[in-house]
């Protein structure tokens, strides 16, 4: 699991608003996709974590700073960096870039919760060990 992961994507027309810029909530979708791919490259599929370990991630807190707009057809790079890892939560910093231009930054706190009870629970040991290597 890389401590600095990058995921690239293209902005489609459907991602934009009437003004032709990326709708603010879609930046959150882009970050979610990057987090999913970050876990996937480390060998952890969220669907398997849910079915086999009965755990899912829940966004507990998110702070986002929109600096410059992205527009239709932009090629964006979304980063994921592990800032802090606990036994049942983690803090990530994420950025969205267009070439070398910073468009957006965010700090995301994720909680590990039981998929049925939705109560906090510890990370499965293999996932926790992988996270702790980089946290």
* Banded model confidence at residue 131, pLDDT cuts 50, 70, 90: confident
pLDDT band at 132 (very low <50, low <70, confident <90, very high): confident
Q: What is the pLDDT of residue 46?
A: 95
Structural tokens at position 87? 């036994």
- The enclosing domain of 56 has a CATH number of 3.10.129.10
**Strand (E) positions, the chain?**
4-10, 55-66, 75-85, 89-98, 101-114
The full DSSP string for 54-78 is -EEEEEEEEEEEE-S--BTT-EEEE
Contacts of 121 (CB under 8 A, 6+ apart): 54, 55, 88, 112, 113, 114
Per-residue pLDDT for 134 more than 80? Answer: no
CA–CA gap between residue 21 and residue 13 (Å, rounded): 9
- Categorize the per-residue pLDDT at 110 as very low, low, confident or very high, splitting at 50, 70 and 90: very high
DSSP 29: H
* Domain count within the chain: 1
Average pLDDT, the chain: 94
pLDDT at 5 over 80: yes
Tens of pLDDT, residue by residue over 41-61, are 989 999 999 999 999 999 999
Catalytic residue of the set 17, 65, 73, 74: 17
State pTM to two decimals: 0.93
Q: What is the domain extent for residue 121?
A: 4-132
17 carries an active-site annotation: yes
- Mapped onto helix, strand or coil, the DSSP state of residue 23 is coil
pLDDT bracket for residue 129 (50, 70, 90): confident
């Amino acid at each position: 699991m890389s401590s600095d992961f990058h995921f690239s994507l293209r902005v489609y027309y459907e991602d934009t608003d009437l003004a032709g810029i990326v709708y603010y909530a879609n930046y959150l979708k882009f970050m979610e996709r990057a987090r999913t791919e970050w876990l996937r490259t480390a060998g952890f599929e969220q669907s398997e974590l849910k079915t086999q370990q009965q755990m899912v991630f829940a966004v507990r807190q998110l702070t986002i700073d929109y600096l410059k707009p992205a527009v239709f057809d932009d090629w964006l790079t979304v980063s994921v960096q592990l800032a802090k890892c606990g036994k049942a939560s983690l803090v990530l910093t994420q950025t969205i870039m267009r070439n070398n231009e910073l468009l957006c930054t965010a700090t995301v706190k994720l909680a590990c919760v039981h998929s049925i009870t939705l109560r906090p629970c510890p990370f499965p040991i293999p996932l926790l060990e992988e996270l702790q290597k980089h946290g």
